[in-house]
Every structure is written in C-alpha cells, then in structure tokens.
Amino acid sequence: MKVSITDKPDKAGQCYMEVVERYTNGGPFVLAALTGAEELLKSTNRSVQIVALYEGAWSRTVKPQEMAQQFTSESNWYQIGKRYAQKLTDAGETAKAADVQAKLGITSK
C-alpha cells in the first residue's frame, strides 16, 4: 500500500528536509525534494514558509568555481538560487530578488 504525503505530512516533510539539509550539493535530486517540500507546505496551508525553505537551501549550496555559464547554470547553487529569486518576487520582495539574481548573473530585461 502506497502512502501519500497527505497521509503523513509530518513524516514526508522530515524526509524532504533531510534530503535538503544533507545533500543540497549532492545532485539534482535535491530539486525534487524542494518541490515536494514546497507542495507539502502549500497543501498544509504553510505557504508563507516557502521563501524561507528556498533561502535555507540556497544558503547551503556552494557556488561553483569559475566556469562557463552553461555549466554554472546547471549547478544546484544556480537552480536553487533561481527558484529562490522567483519565490522572493512572488512574495513582493523585489529588492532581495534582484540581489539574488545579480549574484546568479541574471540580468533584468
């Protein structure tokens, strides 16, 4: 019998956060854990915590050493940072979002 995140949201949240906290720089699977944690926060009426989720995850990432932008943009540092900037924008924190985008090398259009 398969258990969904709605059956045991606290346990699911713990699992997602363990992946985020331990393996932020470990591979792309952390992006799936962040997506799952975000969906869980939404489904349990805790959407206000989404920005903090991404802020914490991005703060754990290691910025890649100097390399071509096409490789940097595939890193967890960049991918999580890009999501974090979008969540900040969605929350109306445009100055913070612009700061994150500048660190990522994303220019406003």
Q: What is the pLDDT of residues 43-67, one digit of tens each?
A: 989 999 999 999 999 999 999 987 7
Residue 25 located in a structural domain: yes
Determine if the pTM surpasses 0.95. no
Residue with tokens 């910025």: 63
Total structural domains within the chain: 1
Q: Which amino acid is at 72?
A: T
pLDDT score recorded for residue 2: 44
pLDDT above 70 (res 80): yes
Residue 93's domain comprises 9-104
Q: How far apart are the first and last CA of the chain?
A: 49
Residue 4 located in a structural domain: no
- pLDDT > 90: percent of the chain: 67
Residue 53 located in a structural domain: yes
pLDDT score recorded for residue 26: 87
Q: What is the rounded radius of gyration, in angstroms, for the C-alpha atoms of the chain?
A: 15
